[in-house]
């Protein structure tokens, strides 16, 4: 398996190529390769759930572009957004945030900064669960927070408990981390990451891809 | 540090949180600990137990600030001058809420985090991960995501993460609060093993029947002060009601039998032939109203899922007016998922749920709230008003059924009258729960569902809740209580529903359910102390003759 930093470079290279590509068939090809990779890594179920969130966004973005620049540009814009998000979906599905953090620390990033980055990634689903719990609790006592315009009238009933719980959770986590030595100097790492020849080849490939995307595709 | 000498010493310790307006939470505490394998810290909610625990590893004052006077030293080093991170291999603290202390993607990484802080080499980290997981029996969970585990498994993962650091003193705050009875038994065995290996345990817990038999020393706190300190059998000889503690049944049995010192493990008390007559009244099942009015909720062939997993396969039961029912089962059995189906938050995959004769899938959950009031486990998920009075009115105002007389009665029943002008977020855990119950009842629903109402709550709260349930049943309400606290369920519920393997595996009075050992084992349940005592006495009766019980006569 490639080092997380090499994988990050590949994801950035592929994403950059997609973003820079001018020809529609290049974007279609890039997206098809990504779909094959999703299937190869057996992430179809998770990808299906991800698409439910991303497709409406892509359609909205595409529709705006159709209105401003025409049909073909709109289709390419929607597909680019889909391909870009799929690139990073694959990256985060196949790379543990802690591994990415540890490898970045080896590159020289301070541990605290790397940890904040990885913790932020991990706590998106936790906050999502808290949000669902708030909605459930409020609906259970008669407050209309079902999807729809009526929910907008009751935004304080959703936002206030969620924000307070998010702050409380942050405090509790900081306390738990400190109780396990977060700020103790001299940290070691259970997994050691070193860039090998394969990783450097991947980085070079990513750079080549990006250059090709900008120059010829 | 040699075993037998105190490792942590608190001298004339007083502390006030920064936001408490100078009101001390701890007052003049003198305590030496670490010489005994197991110290139990008891006391009502808000007495300062958790605060005291946080002074042992320096989180107070380093993390919380506030005003601390006196001193705490760990292995001879003052905590005031030693950073928290420097004490992690001396004092390990496992917090009450496991979700808030698990922040890695796998259990193995969770355990590794503290070991990496110690700067250990990779091989040693790997060894300790395996050892800690084996010590608490979670070897098979190492590659699982901590947030995908059940509450019991999360607790064990948090414990393993601290245990791996090999601290000299291990402090656990309410370790049994959210665990099913069989998991509690397993955890008790794990803790007993830790104490035998030269380390010391400090356990804060309300339920003394789960801790006092294992502890060598017990400290009781009231209002931030230590009011009793000694062997548990001595401390429990006299337990004044204002302390907010409930003595284990074993203490009452010992007293009846004239045993001195008190035996605190009920199953170890020697019972002679005459014990049956002497203890007869202690084994009488609590009297509950079994009035059965009209049916208000009907569940038929319900299948449902939590996330991607189908946890309910074929659930059927009814609820009636005037009846208190307990829903019991293992951690992760699907109890909360079932509750979400009762008030329309979740839609059935198959089968039907009908409230007042109408199927829930035709109602919005917010409209169904008029008939089904639910108080979830975490009351913080709902508070958003500035005062308790406003918070309680939210539901009735949204549903257009505000009844001030009913709210006044509710406030009186739940002892909230003096708290009406307070901010809900500033209340204690027990007070918050009472506000959440009031909010669930404020629009006068015919059905009340309570999810783990007694978790982490003291004897005062349990008494108040028991009174409330009796009143609601007398007024014709139907109550469904989801709980792991079988002693409370036995006291208040005339009927138990056992959820196991996605179906209601038993539906009947507590005595009938507990008399089926195979079912109890399968459902991770353990019979209550009262039931076990009655069973032992029955065996004695069946064996034959009367005579003197073991132990002295007297004080009968």
The domain limits of chain A are 4-95+190-215, 119-178
Q: How far is A2 from chain B (nearest CA, A)?
A: 19
DSSP per position, B514-551: HT-HHHHHHTT----HHHHHHHHHHHHHHH----PPSS
Per mean pLDDT, which range of B14-28, B277-291, B538-552 is the poorest?
B538-552
Cα–Cα distance list, B478 to A66, A109, B401 (Å): 58, 59, 19
Q: What is the pTM (predicted TM-score) of this model? A: 0.84
What's the rounded Cα separation, in Å, for the pair B251 and A42?
Answer: 58
Measure in Å the smallest separation between the Cα of A35 and chain B Cα atoms.
23
Q: Looking at residue A217, what is its pLDDT?
A: 60
| Chain B CB contacts of A175 below 8 Å | 59, 63, 95
- Chain B, residues 68-97, CB within 8 A of chain A, namely 83-86, 88, 92-93, 95, 97
φ, ψ at B298 (rounded to 5°): -130, 125
Give the closest-approach CA distance of A142 to chain B in angstroms.
4
- pLDDT value of position B291: 62
Rounded-to-10 torsion of CA B18, B39, B162, B193: -170
CA A73, A76, A82, A88 torsion-angle sign: negative
**Residue the block writes with tokens 């629009």:** B443
Of the two residues B356 and A217, the one the predictor is more confident about is B356
Residue B556: strand, helix, or coil: coil
Q: Scan residues 406-465 of B and list those with Cβ closer than 8 Å to A.
A: 425, 439-440, 442-443
The dihedrals phi and psi of B203, each to the nearest 5 degrees, come to: -120, 125
pLDDT over threshold 50, residue B20: yes
Chain B residues lying within 8 Å of A186, measured CB to CB: 119
Q: What pLDDT sits at residue B289?
A: 63
CB pairs under 8 A between A and B: 176
Angle between helices A155-178 and A111-139 (to 10 degrees): 140
- Does residue A49 belong to the interface with chain B, where contact is any CB pair within 8 Å? no
Q: Give me the pLDDT at residue B229, please.
A: 95
pLDDT digits over B479-517, tens only?
Answer: 999 999 999 999 999 999 999 999 999 999 999 999 999
Angle, helix B107-117 to helix B122-136, in steps of 10 degrees: 130
C-alpha dihedral, B95 to B97 to B103 to B105, nearest 10°? 120
Q: DSSP secondary structure string, chain A? A: ---HHHHHHHHHHHHHHHHH--SHHHHHHHHHHHHHHHHHTT-HHHHHHHHHHHHHHHHHHHHHHHHHH-HHHHHHHHHHHHHHHHHHHHHHHHS-HHHHHHHHHHHT--HHHHHHHHHHHHHHHHHHHHHHHHHHHHHTTT---SSSTHHHHTHHHHHHHHHHHHHHHHHHHHHHHHTTTTT-SS---SS-----HHHHHHHHHHHHHHHHHHHT-
Q: Are strands B200-204 and B169-173 parallel, antiparallel or unpaired?
A: parallel
pLDDT beyond 70 at B551: no
Nearest to A180 among B114, B121, B384 (CB): B114
Q: Do A164 and B117 touch (CB under 8 A)?
A: no
CB contact (8 A) between residue A190 and residue B59? no
A140 with B57: Cβ contact below 8 A? no
Least confident of B188-197, B350-359, B465-474: B188-197
Q: What percent of chain B has pLDDT over 70?
A: 95
Q: B501 vs B307, B498, B506, CA distance in Å?
A: 17, 10, 12
Q: Cα B151–B153–B157 angle (5° rounding)? A: 115
Distance from the Cα of A125 to chain B's closest Cα (Å) equals: 10
Are the beta carbons of B119 and A191 separated by less than 8 Å? Answer: no
Nearest to B116 among A159, A165, A187 (CB): A187
Q: Which is nearest to B157 in space by CA: B212, B114, B201?
A: B114
Q: Are strands B77-78 and B67-74 parallel, antiparallel or unpaired?
A: antiparallel
pLDDT at B554: 30
B13 touches B69 (CB < 8 A): yes
Measured distance CA(B68)–CA(B28) in Å, rounded: 11
Give yes or no for a cis peptide into B272 (omega within 30° of 0).
no
* Under 8 Å between Cβ of B24 and B34: no
pLDDT in tens, B156-199: 899 999 999 999 999 999 998 888 999 899 889 888 888 777 78
CA terminus-to-terminus distance, chain A: 29
pLDDT at site B149: 84
CA B346 to chain centre: 26
Give the closest-approach CA distance of B86 to chain A in angstroms: 7
- Hey, which residues 377-406 in chain B have their CB within 8 Å of chain A? 378, 380-384, 394-396, 398-399
Which tokens hold the place of B314? 């074929």
Mean pLDDT of B467-477: 89
| B369-380 per-position pLDDT tens digit | 999 999 998 898
Q: Is B161 on the interface with A (CB under 8 A)?
A: yes
Average pLDDT over residues B14-22: 85
Chain B residues in contact with A123 by the CB 8 A cut-off are 103
pLDDT at residue B428 in the model? 80
pLDDT score of B288:
65
- Mean pLDDT, consecutive 10-residue stretches, chain A (217 aa), reads 91 91 87 94 89 90 90 92 94 87 88 84 82 93 85 89 90 91 91 89 90 74
The set of residues, in sequence order, having a beta carbon less than 8 Å from that of A203 and lying 6+ positions away, is A5, A6, A9, A10, A195
Cβ <8 Å between A168 and B380: yes
What is the C-alpha separation between B426 and B415, in angstroms, rounded? Answer: 16
Query: Is residue B546 predicted with pLDDT exceeding 60?
Result: no
For the stretch B129-142, what's the b/e string if a residue is b when 16 or more beta carbons lie within 10 angstroms of its beta carbon? beebbebbebeebb
State which residue of chain A sits closest to B443, comparing Cα positions: A141
CB atoms within 10 A of CB B70: 17
Whether B41 contacts chain A with CB within 8 A: no
Q: Largest Cα–Cα distance in chain B?
A: 69
* Dist. CA B204–CA B45, nearest whole Å: 11
Give the separation between CA A191 and CA B116, rounded to whole angstroms: 10
Of B97, B115, B308, the CB nearest to A172: B97
* DSSP structural state of residue B446: S
Average pLDDT of B397-412? 92
Cβ(B315)–Cβ(B342) below 8 Å: no
Interface of A with B in 103-162 (CB under 8 A): 119, 122-123, 125-126, 129-130, 133-134, 136-146, 156-157, 159-161
**Mean pLDDT computed over B307-318:** 91
Neighbours of A178 (CB within 10 A): 21
Q: What is the pLDDT of residue B539?
A: 84
| Sign of the dihedral through C-alpha B447, B452, B454, B456 | negative
| Chain A residue nearest residue B397, CA to CA | A142
The answer to whether residue A71 neighbours chain B at the CB level (below 8 Å) is no
Dist CA B527 CA B489 (whole Å) = 11
């Amino acid at each position: 398996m490639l080092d997380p930093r090499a994988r990050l470079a590949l994801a950035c290279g592929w994403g950059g190529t997609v973003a820079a590509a001018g020809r529609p068939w290049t974007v279609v090809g890039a997206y098809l390769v990504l779909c094959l990779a999703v299937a190869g890594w057996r992430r179809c179920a998770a990808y299906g759930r991800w698409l439910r969130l991303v497709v409406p966004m892509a359609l909205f973005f595409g529709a705006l572009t159709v209105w401003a620049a025409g049909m073909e540009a709109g289709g390419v814009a929607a597909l680019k957004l889909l391909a870009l998000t799929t690139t990073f979906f694959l990256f985060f599905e196949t790379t543990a945030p802690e591994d990415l953090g540890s490898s970045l620390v080896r590159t020289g990033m301070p541990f605290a900064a790397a940890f904040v980055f990885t913790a932020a990634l991990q706590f998106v689903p936790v906050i999502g669960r808290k949000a669902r719990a708030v909605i459930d609790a409020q609906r259970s006592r008669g407050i209309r927070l079902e999807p729809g315009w009526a929910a907008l009238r009751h935004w304080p009933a959703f936002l206030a408990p969620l924000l307070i719980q998010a702050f409380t959770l942050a405090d509790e986590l900081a306390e738990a981390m400190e109780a396990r030595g977060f700020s103790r100097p001299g940290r070691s790492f259970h997994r050691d990451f070193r860039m090998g020849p394969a990783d450097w080849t991947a980085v070079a490939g990513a750079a080549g891809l990006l250059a090709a995307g900008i120059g010829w595709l | 540090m040699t075993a037998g000498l105190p490792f942590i010493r608190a001298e004339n310790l007083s502390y006030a949180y920064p936001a408490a307006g100078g009101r001390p939470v701890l007052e003049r505490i003198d305590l030496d600990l670490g010489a005994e394998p197991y110290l139990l810290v008891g006391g009502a909610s808000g007495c300062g137990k958790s605060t005291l625990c946080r002074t042992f590893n320096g989180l107070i004052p380093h993390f919380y600030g506030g005003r601390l006077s006196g001193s705490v030293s760990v292995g001879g080093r003052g905590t005031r001058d030693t950073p928290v991170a420097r004490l992690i291999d001396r004092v390990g603290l496992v917090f009450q809420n496991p979700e808030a202390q698990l922040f890695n993607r796998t259990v193995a990484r969770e355990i590794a985090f503290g070991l990496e802080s110690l700067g250990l080499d990779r091989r040693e980290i790997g060894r300790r991960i395996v050892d800690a997981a084996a010590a608490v029996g979670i070897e098979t969970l190492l590659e699982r995501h901590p947030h995908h585990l059940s509450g019991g498994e999360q607790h064990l993962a948090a414990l393993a993460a601290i245990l791996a650091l090999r601290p000299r003193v291990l402090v656990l705050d309410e370790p049994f609060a959210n665990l099913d009875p069989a998991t509690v038994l397993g955890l008790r065995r794990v803790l007993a093993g830790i104490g035998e290996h030269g380390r010391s345990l400090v356990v804060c817990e309300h339920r003394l029947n789960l801790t006092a038999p294992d502890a060598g020393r017990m400290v009781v706190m009231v209002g931030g002060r230590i009011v009793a300190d000694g062997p548990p059998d001595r401390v429990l000889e006299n337990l004044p009601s204002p302390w907010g503690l409930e003595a284990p049944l074993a203490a009452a049995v010992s007293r009846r039998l004239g045993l001195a010192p008190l035996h605190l493990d009920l199953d170890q008390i020697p019972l002679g032939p005459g014990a049956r007559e002497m203890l007869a009244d202690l084994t009488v099942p609590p009297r509950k109203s079994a009035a059965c009015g009209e049916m208000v909720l009907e569940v038929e062939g319900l299948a449902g899922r939590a996330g991607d997993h189908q946890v309910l396969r074929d659930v059927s039961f009814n609820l009636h007016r005037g009846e208190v029912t307990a829903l019991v089962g293992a951690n992760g059995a699907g109890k909360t998922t079932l509750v979400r189906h009762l008030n329309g938050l979740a839609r059935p995959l198959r089968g039907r749920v009908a409230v007042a004769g109408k199927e829930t899938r035709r109602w919005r959950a917010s409209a169904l709230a008029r008939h089904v009031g639910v108080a979830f486990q975490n009351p913080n998920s709902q508070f958003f008003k500035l005062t308790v009075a406003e918070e309680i009115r939210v539901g009735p105002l949204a549903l257009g059924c505000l009844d001030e007389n009913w709210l006044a009665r509710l406030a009186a029943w739940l002892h909230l009258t003096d708290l009406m002008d307070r901010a809900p977020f500033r209340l204690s855990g027990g007070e918050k729960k009472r506000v959440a119950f009031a909010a669930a009842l404020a629009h006068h629903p015919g059905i009340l569902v309570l999810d783990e109402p007694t978790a982490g709550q003291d004897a005062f709260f349990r008494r108040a809740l028991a009174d409330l349930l009796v009143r609601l049943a007398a007024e014709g309400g139907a109550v469904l209580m989801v709980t792991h606290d079988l002693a409370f369920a036995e006291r208040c519920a005339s009927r138990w529903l056992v959820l196991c393997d996605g179906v209601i595996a038993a539906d009947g009075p507590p005595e009938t359910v507990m008399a089926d050992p195979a079912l109890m084992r399968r459902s991770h349940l353990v019979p209550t102390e009262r039931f076990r005592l009655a069973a032992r006495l029955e065996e004695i009766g069946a064996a034959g003759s009367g005579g003197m019980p073991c132990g002295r006569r007297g004080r009968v």
